[in-house]
Amino acid sequence: MIFLINKKSKPTGLVHDKGRIYKSLQVLCLVIIIGAMFTLPAFAAGDIFSKANEIIVDVYNKIAGISTVLAGLMSAVAVIGAKISNNQHKVDQAWDWLKRIRVAWAIINGIGAFIAYIRPLFDGLNSIE
C-alpha cells in the first residue's frame, strides 16, 4: 500500500507510524541502557538461616532494651501515682498496673531467654539420622 504525501499536508498512515515506532524504540533502548548503568550488584551475605537468626536476635535485643526502659518508667509512674493518691480505689488500680507491667516485662524477657538458651537444645532434632 503506497501513501502519497502532499507537501502541504502532514504525513499520514504508514509513514507517521514508522516515526512513532522509531521514537518508542529509541526511548526503550535508552531506558534499558540507563537501567543497566544504575543497577547495583547484589551479593549473598551467607546462609539465609544464619542471616535470619542475626536479624531476629538484633530486633529482639532492641525490643528488650526498649521494654526494660518503658517498664522502669511506667513502674515509677505507677508507684508515684499510688503514693500521692488520696483515694484507695486509685491506689489499688496503681498497684494492679504495677503487677501488669512486671508480668509483661517478664514475658518479653522470657521469650528472649527461650530464644537464647532453650532453642539451641532443639537444634538437630528436626532431622533423622
Residues 6-34: tens digit of each pLDDT:
555 555 555 567 778 888 889 999 999 99
d(CA 37, CA 49): 32
Domain regions of the chain by residue span: 11-42, 48-122
Q: What is the mean pLDDT of the chain?
A: 80
- Could you read off the pLDDT of 54-100 as tens digits, one per residue? 888 888 888 888 989 999 999 999 999 899 988 899 899 999 999 99
Provide the pLDDT for residue 1: 46
CA distances from 54 to 27, 48, 57 (A): 44, 10, 5
pTM over cut 0.75 = no
Buried b (16+ CB within 10 A) or exposed e, 8-43: eeeeeeeeeeeeeeeeeeeeeeeeeeeeeeeeeeee
